[in-house]
Chains A and B, each alone.
Chain A
Amino acid sequence: MTGSENRKTKDSGDNFFRNPSFYINRELSWLQFDRRCLMEARSRENPLMERLNFLSITASNLDEFFMVRVASIQDMAKGGYTKRDIAGMTAGEQLCAILKEAHSFVDLQYSTYNRSLVPALSQEGITLITGYEGLTKDEKQYLDELFETEIYPVVTPMASDASRPFPLIRNKSLNLGVLLSRKKNAGPGILGRTKKAKKQLRTETENLEFATVQVPSVLPRVIRLPAAQGEEKQGRARIILLETVIRENMASLFQSYDIVCAYPFRIMRSADMDIDEDEAEDLLKEIEKSLKQRRHGDAIRLEVESGMDRRLLNILVEELQLSMDEIFEIDGPLDLTFLSKVRKLEGFDSLFEHRYSAPQPVPELPEGCDLFAQIRKGDIFLHHPYETFKPVVDFVAKAAVDPDVLAIKQTLYRVSGNSPIVAALARAADNGKQVTVLVELKARFDEENNIGWAKMLEKAGCHVIYGLVGLKTHSKITLVVRREEDGIRRYVHLATGNYNDTTARLYTDVGLFTCKEPFGEDATAVFNMLSGYSEPRSWNKLILAPLWLKDRFLYMIGREAEYAKRGERAQIKAKMNSLCDPDIIEALYKASAAGVQIQLIVRGICSLKVGIRGVSDNITVRSIVGNFLEHSRIFYFENGGKPEIYAGSADWMPRNLDRRVEIVFPLEDETVRAKALHILDVELQDTEQASILHPDGTYEKVDRRGKEKVNSQLVFCNEAVLAAKKMQEELHRTRLFVPEEHVEETGD
């Protein structure tokens, strides 16, 4: 369709912009994102260990994608759900396309692994041994001992027959499937079956028995073989995977049997939890129950080592009720997340990325400063991980012991394993502060962790709340209420990222400290609302989903369109993780059609298509996949020369705008606004890590020709280092004691 045709048609009705051909299916777009990560693993420009990391990330990403998204689409397809998505695809069509793309993706993953990374590792002195035939005598002896003393005691073979149902294969666990043949003159064997109960699995020509052995997750999967003398110093390592060792020792687990074959396999189960929150009397108990049920979720993907014995494969397929396209034959070790452990091998520092500095001190918050006093001077903007997350931890920790603090309130979505924030909250409660913590129990894959935190915090005396029925609380907000000389003052921290000190070193996020009264009032109202105390009637500054955040975004996008129609400068710059809300995309199309210049930085899913004439020809989309995971959400609206800039926890996705409690907050102070805008502008100039979305839905790295090299993450790192250095110099100067020089009077 030509641009003029588009324009003609769009005037005839609002549905024009909802044409399915204008949209990209969100699942396929997600797979595109994982492909961009994979490209980083393939890129020889990245140091080897970073490439391993990227490949490992693609593997864990794909697992999560299957457990959540594919499972849900499969449910829809099985349930006969016929409604089409915005890209015009039914659930069945999506499933077909996803599986096709996923197979091709996995092929590329393993081609990267086998053809590129394994040789590169070997070149750098890291050898992955795939079988005992490659071992030296000493290495074999070492592994035999290791098996005897550490592995054998924790391995439990499980058989399947009429008296023992097919064993429960845990989600994501790595297993070895074994076909066994009973030795002649052997007793009942370790499978212990009576003759009567025995019902052997009938295979093609022989009576074989099936058993599984789970590769124990309590043991390290990557085993570094002891180095020959002096080898370690030379930066060499020989490694073998745990499953290889178990496989080689399989006979010792089934002594009355001959091992016919043994192959690794891994399954993925649906992670969808079905909780009726309205009916649940105790949400915590209900989620605990559902987590147990999740272990029994339907299998949705089976990974097997390529070349697996067909008889073994048939047993698995039959028992797990899988279709052929759900089987992934893998040409290499299953579950590439082990590569993240390979990264941890000692002695290979030179293979890492060293250009990115560690988190730097925040210039406004020098070490040892009075945090509250600094916030009183003006809003403070934090940009992680370039700037340290420590002030955020300190904010809670200092509040916990500050006698003037009356209350601390915080939302927790995902926290680190040994969270100093959680410890500080518990300490605050112990010190008699009113501590209210919203722990989101439904944070996917963190449910168990969060249940643990919730119980611990409750025990410590905190008022733990689980949020609003039917909504996940994804907002990141902390409120400290402090009694000061001139009355109660509220300090607020708002952020785009979780209160997780570990991920704060890896994810790019922004945060804001403020003690402005309107923000404080709103923060109080947020917690009153979340704790069910009240339903605020109006807000000063914060914009909340699912109440009216979407409306507000639609309004602001529409407002730009109005400016454009009047011939005024109209511009939107927005950065987020995902963009797939149909209403927002439609509004963006309308704005683009009206002449608004729209520059989007979307890390992951993007259902918007660029370059449709008369529809999206004023929209550009880029995705940055770099050393750190891009995670911040920043929104800029030109607003007729009075720009409005916001940051927040919400993406432009239906789940964020309609089904979660999210907070988007305005950035008001000029310095803060300048910093936020700088982030957008630098990322929009990135030539190194950015990929550009093309009209056909594919992404390609920025064409660098004629452009200055810009690696946005590196720019931010360097800027943070410089700013911290400047601050240190300032501090040094102000603290330096300079004795006044004696000036002799000359008498002139």
Chain B
Amino acid sequence: MTIHTFGAIDVGSYEQELKIFEVSKARGIRPVDSLVRRVDLGSDTYQTGKIRSGNVREVGDILREFREVMNNYRVTEYKAYGTSAIREMDNASMVLSLWEQRSGIHVGVLSNSEQRFLDYKSAAAKIGDFDSIISDSCAIVDIGGGSIQISLFSDGKLGATQNLRLGILRLYEKIRSIDARESQRDAMISEMVDSQLEVFQKLYLNNRKVRNLIIVDDYISALMQSRKMEDVPAAAFIEYVRMARDMSVPEIARRVQIADDNVPLLYISGVLMERIIEAFGTEHIWAPGITLCDGIAYEFAEKQKILPPSHNFEEDIIACAHNISRRYMGDETRGETIETIALRIFDALRKQYGLSKRERLLLRICAILHDCGKYISITNLAECSYNIIMSTEIIGLSHIEREIVANVVRFNHSEFVYYEEQQNMSDLDLDAYLMIGRLTAILRLANGMDRSHKRKFEDFGLTLKPDRLQINIRPGVDITLEKGMFAHRADFFEEIFGIRPVIRQKK
């Protein structure tokens, strides 16, 4: 039996965690050790955009300790990620390099959507009847230090996901900065939360109730886990939170068995959840007690094909893209046509050009969102599409992947800007840019093949020749327009793939 010893590190906003896992086909993901150190990076970043040097050094030392512990467990693979405090840092690259130099640990930065997606994945893996819970109305509320993410499910699919800057550390800092009296705390937190929830409700709920809530967080989950309560009726939960309100900090700490320092964050988490439960009309709560590290381990197991996927996450990403398209009144039928054509071209090229499954997913999203910018401006479609995609969360996509999608959709409608020309305007590396080129070439071709929006290429064949990609279309279909507009797109395709697409219609 092959057992991988894997280390997952979360350089979080208020805590840094190392979890050691054993990952194997026989026993799944088994946590072996968990170390948590507490350095508040979020307060620095959220207020000044930088982390004070003492904290940088301290986290460097913590990472070095983590490295030693991983060595002791003979960890063979690890992943370390920073989250919102690192994301919002002005000098992230310098700090990350310093940490790597000090500890030998490379810390990547997760985009918000990536981070939430990892949490979501491990929740799906840990909750046995996840698919049945989300088939009813359900939301995952992922509470972080800087923000919270609410992901709504209906009919077993992800309907929408929204990030709200209501992280518990952020709320705590706000209350502290206002210097509120204890008696005012609840009202203040409620006000801050309610104002944002109201917008969320209007956007996504339309008076619908969300019967089930899955909480992903560090405090409430730990509390519920310690009480051996993975799921409870919402009313019981609220009663517990209200009871805690009347207790002193030491009393809460003693009762729920946490350190005094953590009580304010637990308290804010409780009030936050109470507001969400009331706003959503929630009836039942699940707290699987997972952390980002569990998600990182799950992703590792999934990528290594050690564990079968517990849920079809790709469909959630696609569902999320469709929702965005719908919100911006995209032409779904045309999107479907382009998606079909583009995927057929992609599949024809895949083997020859070593195209990945992930690229295929991105192409699908590009096709779905190909016209989202029209909602704002038909004439400035390219830039508007780019901006919409760049400012919308697509759960499961990294920041880089989102930028790839945004660029592909942009270059579908405008002149392609070469890597050498844009180097100073983007963080994208050459590999990412080559992917943009490949996907743009395919999307443009697919778009061109449905130039008339009449689905003339519903039935076509593809033959990959050494010098060309032959598109075979049955006789009798009038493709004059498509043929006329084809040359320019074919030139770009040829530039990227080195073969020329040719339309061949039997007479």
Chain A residues near B (Cβ < 8 Å): 406-407, 434, 481, 483, 485-488, 524-525, 528, 532-535, 537-539, 547-548, 551
Q: Indicate whether A538 sits within 8 Å of B225 (C-beta atoms), given known contacts A487-B3, A487-B22.
A: yes
B1-48: which have CB < 8 Å to A? 1, 3, 5, 17, 22, 24, 26-27, 30, 32-38
- Tell me the residues in window 54-69 of chain B with beta carbons closer than 8 Å to chain A beta carbons: 65, 69
Chain B residues near A481 (CB, 8 Å)? 73
Question: Which segment, of B96-104, B251-259, B278-286, B470-478, faces chain A?
Answer: B251-259
Measured as residues with beta carbon below 8 angstroms from the partner, the interface class of chain B is 20 to 34
Given the known inter-chain contacts A407-B72, A485-B1, A487-B22, please indicate yes or no for A533 contacting B257, CB distance below 8 A.
no
Q: Are B34 and A486 in contact, CB atoms less than 8 angstroms apart?
A: no
Cβ of B226 < 8 Å from any Cβ of A? yes
Query: A434 near B72 (CB under 8 angstroms)?
Result: yes
Across the interface, name the chain A residue whose C-beta is closest to B255.
A551
| A-B contacts, 8 listed (Cβ < 8 Å) | A406-B72, A406-B74, A486-B27, A487-B27, A524-B34, A533-B37, A534-B36, A539-B257
The minimal Cβ–Cβ distance linking A555 to chain B, given in whole angstroms, is 11
Which residues on the B side are within 8 Å of A525 (C-beta)?
34
Q: A547 vs B1: C-alpha distance in the bound complex, in angstroms?
A: 40
Given contacts A487-B27, A537-B257, A537-B258, contact A528 B34 (CB under 8 A): yes
Contacts of A485 in B (CB 8 A): 1
Q: B226–A537 contact, CB under 8 A?
A: yes
B-chain residues with CB within 8 Å of residue A528 when the two chains form the complex: 33-36
Taking the closest CB of chain B, its distance from the CB of A492, in whole angstroms, is: 14
Give the CA-CA distance A486 to B32 in the complex, in Å.
13
Considering the complex, give the chain A residue whose CB is closest to the CB of B261: A535
State in angstroms the CA–CA spacing of A538 and B223 once bound together.
8
Determine if B222 is an interface residue (Cβ-Cβ < 8 Å). Answer: yes
- 13 new A-B pairs (CB below 8 Å) besides A533-B36, A534-B35? A407-B73, A486-B3, A486-B26, A487-B24, A524-B33, A528-B36, A533-B35, A533-B37, A533-B65, A534-B37, A535-B38, A535-B259, A551-B254
Which of B27, B34, B226 is close to A534, meaning CB atoms less than 8 Å apart? Answer: B34
Pairs A-B, 5 closest by C-beta atoms? A538-B226, A434-B72, A534-B36, A537-B222, A533-B35
Among the interface residues B24, B73, B222, B262, which one has the most CB atoms of the partner chain A within 10 A? B73
Interface 1/0s, chain B 405-440, versus A by CB < 8 A?
A: 000000000000000000000000000000000000
Report how far A486 CA is from B38 CA in the complex, Å. 33
Nearest-neighbour CB distance to chain B for A321, whole angstroms, equals 42
Instruction: Find out whether the CB atom of B30 lies under 8 angstroms from the CB atom of A487.
Output: yes
CB-based A-B contact count at 8 angstroms:
65
Closest CB in chain B relative to A480 CB, distance in Å:
13
Closest to B73 in A: A406
For B65, list chain A residues within 8 Å (CB).
533
How many whole Å from B240's CB to the nearest CB in chain A? 16
A532 to B258, CA, bound (A): 15
What is the bound-complex CA distance between A677 and B330, given in angstroms?
A: 74
B33 closest partner in A (C-beta)? A524
CB within 8 Å of A: which of B297-318? none
Please name all residues of chain A whose beta carbon is closer than 8 Å to the beta carbon of B74 when the two chains form the complex: 406, 483
Roughly how many angstroms separate A533 CA and B63 CA in the complex, as a whole number? 11
A488, B36: Cβ atoms closer than 8 Å:
no
Residues of A within 8 A of B33 (CB): 524, 528
Interchain CA distance A407-B37 in the complex, whole Å: 21
Find out whether the CB atom of B72 lies under 8 angstroms from the CB atom of A538.
no
A487 vs B3: C-alpha distance in the bound complex, in angstroms?
Answer: 7
When the two chains form their complex, are residues B254 and A548 in contact, meaning their CB atoms are under 8 A apart? Answer: yes
Asked whether B257 lies within 8 Å of A488 as measured between CB atoms, the reply is no
Query: Please, how many angstroms separate the alpha-carbon atoms of A483 and B72 in the complex?
Result: 11
Within 8 Å CB of B30, what residues of A?
Answer: 487
Picked from A483, A524, A547, the residue with its CB within 8 Å of the CB of B257 is A547
- Nearest-neighbor residue (CB-CB) of A490 within chain B: B32
Residues in chain A near residue B259, CB distance under 8 A: 535
A668 to chain B: closest CB distance in Å? 16
Q: Which residues of B contact A487 (CB under 8 A)?
A: 3, 22, 24, 27, 30, 32
Neighbouring A residues of B27 by C-beta, 8 Å: 486-487
Q: Which residues of A contact B34 (CB under 8 A)?
A: 524-525, 528, 534
State how many angstroms separate the Cβ of B472 from the closest Cβ of chain A.
Answer: 55
User: In the assembled complex, which residues on chain B have CB atoms less than 8 Å from the CB atom of A548?
Assistant: 254, 257
Which one of B30, B33, B74, B259 has the greatest number of beta carbons of chain A within 10 Å?
A: B33
Question: Residues of A contacting B5 with CB < 8 Å?
Answer: 488
CA distance A485 to B22 in the complex (A): 12
The reply to whether A535 and B36 form a contact with Cβ atoms under 8 Å apart is yes
What is the distance, in angstroms, from B451's C-beta to the closest C-beta of chain A? 59
Chain A residues contacting B38 (CB-CB under 8 Å) are 535
Q: How far is the CB of B33 from chain A (nearest CB, A)?
A: 5
A11 CB to closest chain B CB, in angstroms? 25
Q: Please measure, in the bound complex, the distance between the C-alpha atom of A532 and the C-alpha atom of B259, giving whole angstroms.
A: 13
CA distance A481 to B20 in the complex (A): 13
Question: Which residues of B from 211 to 269 have beta carbons under 8 Å from A?
Answer: 218, 222-223, 225-226, 254, 257-259, 262
B 149-180 contacts with A by CB, 8 A: none
Interface core residue of A483, A524, A532, A538 (most chain B CB under 10 Å): A538
- Whole-angstrom distance from the CB of B49 to the nearest CB of chain A? 29
Cα A485 to Cα B27 in complex, Å, equals 12
A550 to chain B, nearest CB (A): 9
B 450-471 to A, binary, CB cutoff 8 A, 1 in contact else 0 = 0000000000000000000000
Bound complex: CA A539 to CA B26 (Å): 26
Complex alpha-carbon distance, A483 and B1, angstroms? 13
User: Can you name the residue of chain B whose Cβ is closest to the Cβ of A463?
Assistant: B68
| Smallest CB gap from B36: residue in A | A534
B201 to chain A, nearest CB (A): 32
Measured CA separation A15–B116 after assembly (Å): 53
Instruction: Name, among A481, A532, A535, A547, the residue most crowded by chain B CB atoms within 10 Å (CB to CB).
Output: A535
CB-defined contacts of A524 to chain B, threshold 8 Å: 32-34
Quote the shortest CB–CB distance from B249 to chain A (angstroms): 15
Cα distance, A86 to B122, chains bound together (Å)? 53
Of B32, B222, B254, the contact of A538 (CB 8 Å cutoff): B222
A538 touches B37 (CB 8 A): no
Bound-state Cα–Cα, A525 to B32, Å: 10
A705 CA to B97 CA, complexed, in Å: 82
* Nearest B-chain residue to A528, judged by Cβ: B35
A238-B3 Cα distance, complex, nearest whole Å = 71
Q: Which of B26, B38, B257, B258 has the most CB of A within 10 A?
A: B257
- In the bound complex, CA of A483 to CA of B259 (Å): 32
Q: Which residue of B lies closest to A487 (CB)?
A: B22
Interface residues of B in 69-84 (CB under 8 A from A): 69, 72-74
How far, in whole Å, are A665 and B316 apart by their CA atoms in the complex? 46
Of all chain A residues, which has the CB nearest B266? A537
**B218 contact set on A, CB distance < 8 A:** 537
Bound complex: CA of A406 vs CA of B22, how far in Å?
A: 14
C-alpha gap A551/B254 in the complex (Å): 8
Contact with A along B104-129 (1 / 0, CB 8 A): 00000000000000000000000000
